[in-house]
Structures are given as C-alpha cells and as structure tokens.
Chains A and B, each alone.
Chain A
Amino acid sequence: MFTRLRYPRIVLLALALGAGSIDYAAEPAPSEQAQMAVIASNLDSLQKIDDGSLREIYLKRVFLNTDGRPYIPVNLPATHPLRDAFLSAVLKMNPPQMQIYWDRRYFQGVSPPYVLGSQRAVVRFVAATPGAIGYVQRCQVTPNVHVILLVSLAGVAPADTLEKCPNSAMP
C-alpha cells in the first residue's frame, strides 16, 4: 500500500525509462543487458508464463495450476538485490509495500513464498521440484531447469550489486 512511497520517484523514474521490461520466452534470447530468468523444473510442463500470472502466484492469490498441481514460488533472501529487482519489475511493489501486503495476508492465513539462501540453491531446488518457480540471474541457469520468462534488470538492479557470472565479465 501506501508505504510504496518510500522510494516512489526512483521507481517511477526507472519504470518510465523502461526499466524492468518483460520478455516472454521459453528460451533466452541474446541480449547485451543483464537479465533475470524466471525458471521452472524440466520435470514441469510449464513452458512459459506471463508477468500477470507470475505476480498472482508470488502474491499467493493463485495456488494451483490448471492441472491441479500446487505452485511453489521461492524467494531469495530479503537482502538480496535480485529480490528487490523482482519486487519492482514483476510484483510492482517496494519492500515496505510488500511488508504491509504480507502482514495482511499473514493475518488471513497466507504465508509468503519460501526463502532459499542463494541463486544456486534456487536452481537446485527448482530443478528437483515440479511446481516450483524461482528467479535467478540469467547466467545462473543450468540445463536441468528451463526459462519461462525473462525480465530485464536494467534500471532495477545495478550491475555492481549482482553476483559475478561464472566465466563472464557481465553479471
């Protein structure tokens, strides 16, 4: 809610400049800019997702897919810069706003997504868990998961705040 306004102008400026733009894709497309990959297990039939559905899953408004399988969204730790970027670009909220949202949902008996300690842990967990959805830097994606959505990190996660990619100068 309203406490979104702690950094509103920064977020609005970033969005106005095209930050956090979303590209639907089953396969990552070549890009010069850092990207966040939303991933699912290769054991899962989910091949792509739109940002609206992803938002509903992470806000725990939708719990099951059309086949009746539970979604298991996972988060990075609250201090991770990629989580802030995900909040801003996909959930369209900032941390204080998210806090109020989850305070209310918690009172209504709905818990926020599970938290895993690192991008590597997210990839490992998602790979082994049908129904799980996570987000990592695109360069962290391994062959046992597949990308269901790509999100640009330009403007929402400065490169120097992200983890260095293996065998790459670019985060």
Chain B
Amino acid sequence: MNRIACRLHRLTPPALLLALGVVLFRPAIAAGDDSPWETDPYRLGQGLYFPQQGLRVGGYADLHYYDLDDRPRSASIDDLSLIVTKDFGSRWKLLSETDLSEAAIITGRGVSTSDATLEVERLYVDYYASSAATFRFGKFLTPVGQWNLIHADPLVWTVTRPLSTAAAFATSANGAMMYGTRTLAQDDLDYTLYVDDTQAIGFAKDADSAYGSYGRAGAINPLTNEFDRAAGGQTHYHWHDDQLTIGGSFVAYELRDPRKSYRLGGLDFDWTGSDVELSGEGVYRTANAPQTPSEYGGYLQAVISLPNQLFLVGRYEHFRNSTPNVTDNISTVGLNYRGVAGLVFRIERTHASHEYSGLPSGWFASVAVLF
C-alpha cells in the first residue's frame, strides 16, 4: 500500500500551516513600496523572507546516487523538505518542517515512488521567556551531538551519516525543552534541558530510521528508533569566537521497540583552523536489561580547504553495535564542491568493515540544495 495514503492523517498540521502561509503571503506582496524594509534579495539557502510578517518559507532537497559494492546502482530523491517559520509577536515563534522522504527511487528499470513517505519532521513553538531561557513545545530534534541538529543534506560534509549520530537514540523527540545561552568570561555557553513523552503525545509520531536508507538497497539494518519517554540535556561551550566548540549530552530514555530503558552519554567537538576543520562525536549507551550489550562509538572527521571551493573530507568511525552485536570500522574519503551558496555537490567512497551493522561500502554521490 502506498505509504503516502497510509499517512494522510499526518498531513493535517502541515496542510494547515501551508494554508496559513498562503494567507500570510498576500499581505507581504501587498505591503507596497513605502515599506521601510529592504530585504536581502532572495538567494539559495536563506528561504523566502517577509520581515513585516515575520514569515520565512524555505527548505531543502537532495538527489543521491548509490553505487554500492555487490548491489545494483540506483539514485533517489531522499528528501524534499519544506520549512516554515512564523513569528507571533516578539516572544512566540512557530516552526514546521514537513519532509517527503524517498520521494523517488530511480533504477535501470524505471522510477518507483512506492517508498515515498510524508512526515512532520519538526513542529514546535518557541517562547522567549527571558534573556537566559527559551521554552520549546512540540516535536523537535533530539539534542545529542551536533550532527543531528544540523543533519540536512546541504549542511553536512558527507552523503553518509556516521552511525554514532543516529543509531543509538531516536533523532526526534516530542515534548518540552528549555534552552539558552550564557556568557562566561567572553565565551558562550549553550544549555538545553528537555523531556519527551511520545507515548502520551499522539501527534506526529514516527519511528526514525536508525541507520539510513540507500536507494534501491533500502535500509541495510531495518532497526528504527522511537522514544516512549526520555529526559536529557546538552551543553556546548564556544571558545575564541566559536573557533573551538566542545559539547556534552546525556539522555535517559525508553524506546518503544524494543521496549527497554537506556542511558546515553555523548561528547562532541568542532575546531576550525586556518585551512582545516576537525570535528568528532562519540556516544556510549548502556541498557537497563540483561543480555543487552552496551552500544558505543565515535568518529573523527577532517575537512581540508582546497582551491576553487573544493573541500577534501576524511572520516574514520568506530562503532560497537548491539543489534546485531558487531563492531564496525568505517572509513570515508570524499570531495565537496560548494561554489554556489546553498548548493552542494559531493562524492565519496566509504568502506565498512562489517556492513550489516548498518552502513554499506561503496560510492556515494549527491547534489543537495538549501532553498
């Protein structure tokens, strides 16, 4: 059965938001030439912005190409995502992200749309309570590490996603969050505290793929993650005008399937030098259940600037999986071309020592646009 039809009930909130967007669009056009605002001309990566309405409409899309070892080649439109933000007064803001994932899979035999899935990726309101605290209610990205919070294809350096950034926890949560930034000795400290109660909140549920999907090959490891309940926090400290950021994350949670309790701790960092960026994340998860081994791993990634907006990317990841119970070592080498703002071309070769843990070996390429 077509999964779009199956998930029509999820369309209501985004459809309402789109209708709201259309209504709000009209006064933006009718604002006239005497407006005091002169917005930046539209360019890729910034969305369509209507400052008088506090409205921004944008999103991202990507086309992936897979030439995996011992598997047929294929391409897929993995994400077609619409992001709408709307300010309500000076203290409230709404964000929605609606994503059509695996919109089309292209093989030598034709184009298939049977795996297309329309989902509400994020839907929340922010309330700016004070200079030190903002409250968020709804569905949001789980604050573990840095990758998960900026996981959109045009914003990351590789087509493949490190296992450490998704396999051990649900990538989104439903509940409430408090976050803010404080200044300590000229440096910034970000903090986040959140609780999830997906079990009780009926809307926008979905089980996040823990390991990603690769065109016609599909998901190598079909495991999905969905919180039943969770509580956690994250902090990031930015040194020297963001040249070095170090963060820590913690979350205690119960997954829906398998229904077990876990505790996860994580560390991450990002250092920007004159021609090099180094980053990494690591997680360690223990299960509150006998016979369930710990799951842990981490990656180190280097990006080197080359002439003509080319970037050389190298990454090594070690990941100890619990389901299946294997250890994987994954190396990735790739190139990015970022000559046009908002547009990214990438190609990479990945080798996984134990691909059945979730990530296959092979060639990956993509073009991604932030619009």
Contact = CB atoms under 8 A, between A and B. Distances in A.
Given A2-B276, A5-B274, A103 B154 contact: yes
Interface in B50-97: 51, 56, 58, 60, 83, 85, 90-91, 93, 95
Contacts of B311: 2
B46 interface: yes
How many B residues touch the partner, as a band? 35 or more
B46 A106 contact: yes
Contact of A64 (B130, B149, B186): B130
B183 interface: yes
Interface string B250-287: 00000000000000000000101011110000000000
Nearest to A101: B242
Contact of B149 (A68, A106, A108): A108
B42 interface: no
Nearest to A116: B38
Contact of B36 (A5, A68, A116): A116
B38 A3 contact: no
Given A56-B188, A102-B46, A117-B38, A8 B274 contact: yes
A124 B181 contact: no
B149 to A, nearest CB: 7
A125 interface: yes
A59 to B, nearest CB: 9
B40 A78 contact: yes
Contacts of B39: 114-115
Contacts of B91: 64, 70
B47 A106 contact: yes
A115 to B, nearest CB: 5
B305 interface: yes
A142 interface: no
Interface in A1-32: 1-5, 8
A99 interface: yes
A81 interface: no
A99 B130 contact: no
Contacts of B51: 114
Contacts of B95: 109
Interface in B199-224: none
B259 to A, nearest CB: 31
Nearest to A108: B149
A65 B56 CA distance: 24
Contact of A116 (B37, B56, B152): B37
B236 to A, nearest CB: 11
B341 A99 contact: yes
A68 B38 CA distance: 27
A132 to B, nearest CB: 11
A63 B134 contact: yes
Among B40, B311, B338, chain A packs the most CB atoms within 10 A around the CB of B40
A165 interface: no
Nearest to A128: B36
A104 B311 CA distance: 18
B272 A2 contact: yes
Contact of B155 (A65, A93, A107): A107
21 contacts: A4-B272, A56-B181, A56-B188, A61-B181, A63-B134, A64-B128, A66-B131, A68-B130, A78-B40, A102-B45, A104-B150, A106-B46, A107-B152, A107-B155, A109-B93, A111-B56, A114-B37, A115-B37, A115-B40, A116-B36, A121-B38
Interface of B: 36-40, 45-47, 49, 51, 56, 58, 60, 83, 85, 90-91, 93, 95, 126, 128, 130-131, 134, 149-150, 152, 154-155, 181, 183, 186, 188, 190, 241-242, 270, 272, 274-277, 303, 305, 311, 338, 341-342, 370
Interface of A: 1-5, 8, 52-53, 55-56, 61-66, 68, 70, 77-78, 92-93, 99, 102-104, 106-109, 111-112, 114-117, 121, 124-125
